[in-house]
Structure 1
Amino acid sequence: MTTPKSPLPPASSPVPRPPSREAPGPAASRPPAVVELRGATKSYPGGVHALRGVDLTVHEGEMLAVVGPSGSGKSTMLQIMGTLDKPTTGTVEVAGYDVGALSDAQLSALRARHIGFVFQHFHLAAGRDAVDNVADGLLYAGVSPRERRARAREALARVRLDHRYSHTPSELSGGEKQRVAIARALVGGPRLLLADEPTGALDTASGEIVMELLHELHAAGTTVCVITHDNEIADSLPRRVRFRDGEIVSDTSSERAVSR
């Protein structure tokens, strides 16, 4: 497996997908990896070890949960997988690019092209309507304001909010706010959607709508990773990666069952 040697172009330029780097044989027929962690650790001053030698591969088109209790390391995993932080040791590759070899500008371009984020508390701009909030997801993609708004409307329609274009966050329910956040994450066409406790701030009915939407997006081809402490949500997804004390303790799916 060889990491692409060409530098990552600016976010406003097309980013060519690196060639498939699977080994010959049966594995070569698998979809390409979107994220690969090899021996990834993350340590902080005071002897805190948030990740301890994590190996994980997420293939294009998968839907999985990273699940564990508070303090298990799953939030650190989100930061690492999303290139918001780098590991202390080990390697992380996203879309075939070695995160450790990229500058801050190149990491920003990588995120803009390949990763969408959905957070528990929405992070929507107050006073801006749904279209503008979603269009902000394209600020660093070199797209004109008119095109940004057109794509934002399309993304909102995709999450069934075309009747809420002109509404500000204060005029939306919690579930609608989360759907706006999902539309913002999707507007750039990312290969990977990282959802951090996407139902944590919602009532049960709204949470079910959000999870149904994530399943629909996965069925349409988006790779979806849900970070959660909710075992019920995790068990509803095709693959479950369970964390405890900074380590993966089990990785199960309909195709395989690996326990450590």
Structure 2
Amino acid sequence: MSAAATGAAAAVLSLRDVVKTYGDVGALRGVSLEVAAGELVAVVGPSGSGKSTMLNIVGTLDRPTSGTVTIAGNDVASMSDDALSRLRADHIGFVFQHFHLQAGATAAENVADGVLYAGVPRRERHRRAVEALGRVGLGHRVDHRPHELSGGEKQRVAIARAIVGEPTILLADEPTGALDTASGAAILTVLRELNAAGTTILVITHDLELAASLPRRIRMRDGLVSNDDRAGTR
């Protein structure tokens, strides 16, 4: 049982009455939620529901128009751009639908880029990269380049890059969207294993079947949380 399920874990992410407008368009219209350490959460909804806007705000890539966002105890509204960059480096890992790997770099080199700006010496970056690749089942692919990898393996490299800095929270945006069914299932297994080892994960998806398989599901519609349920509580 996760720490979240016992109620013992503190929130690593908190949104309170978060509003985001673009001109006259309300992308988020008062979102409030908390995510505790150790949770594995699906954020699901159709296009235009606000889930991508929420991802950008949670990832500190955008600021809310109003409301409060707290990440790992930090109130992001009061932070400078430099401080937000450091917060991202220290606490947030990103995985996207498309892998964004350097074509000419090895898997280990791509993963090591995840701590390139963290002041980590080159040899230590490589050691951490190899370790992270091992965690996602690619210890035998450290010297392979993207063209030598399958789509699922490329996504696992991207996940390893996201976790190499040991983030507090991992944000996965449609991580199976560019993959076939079998590869997508393998990626979901990797995410479950990382979560079981203690990583807090938010999976943003439009895939209702994927969302239904996760312990907690936050459904969004029209810029609001329309439902928030956990396994066994529906």
Q: Aligning the two structures, in what range does the TM-score lie when normalised by the shorter sequence?
A: over 0.9
Given candidates 37, 40, 43, the residue that maps to 2:21 is 43
- Is the aligned partner of 1:251 residue 2:228? yes
5+ long unaligned stretches in structure 1: 1-27
Q: Is it true that 1:171 corresponds to 2:148 in the alignment?
A: yes
Query: Secondary structure of 1:117's match?
Result: strand
Q: Distance in 2 between matches of 1:130 and 1:144?
A: 18
Deviations 1:166-197, CA, capped at 9 Å, x for gaps: 11111111000000000000100111010000
- Residue 128 of structure 1: aligned partner: 105
What is the CA–CA distance in structure 2 between the aligned matches of 1:40 and 1:110, rounded to whole Å?
19
The equivalent of 1:5 in structure 2 is none
2:18 counterpart SS class: strand
* Mapped partners of 1:38, 1:30: distance in 2: 21
Count, aligned residues: 230
Q: Does 1:235 align with 2:215?
A: no
Structure with more relative contact order (C-alpha pairs < 8 Å, separation 6 or more): 2
> 2:84 aligned with 1:103, yes or no?
no
Taking structure 1 as the reference length, the TM-score comes to: 0.86
RMSD, aligned CA: 1.4
Measure how far apart 1:254 and its partner are.
3.1
Where do 5+ consecutive residues of structure 2 fail to align? Answer: 1-5
Whether 1:225 aligns to 2:177 is no
Structure 2 distance, partners of 1:181, 1:70, is 24
TM-score of the two chains, using structure 2 as the length reference: 0.95
Report the counterpart of residue 113 of structure 1 in structure 2.
90
SS of the residue aligned with 2:172? strand
**Distance in 2 of aligned mates of 1:168 and 1:245:** 41
Identity, % of aligned pairs?
65
SS at match of 1:92: strand
- TM-superposed deviation, 1:255: 6.6
Structure 1 position 190 matched with structure 2 position 131: no
Distance 1:164 1:217 in 2: 19
Task: Find out whether 1:82 has 2:33 as its counterpart.
Answer: no
What is aligned with 1:181?
Answer: 158
Q: CA–CA distance in 1 between the matches of 2:35 and 2:232?
A: 14
Aligned to 1:13: none
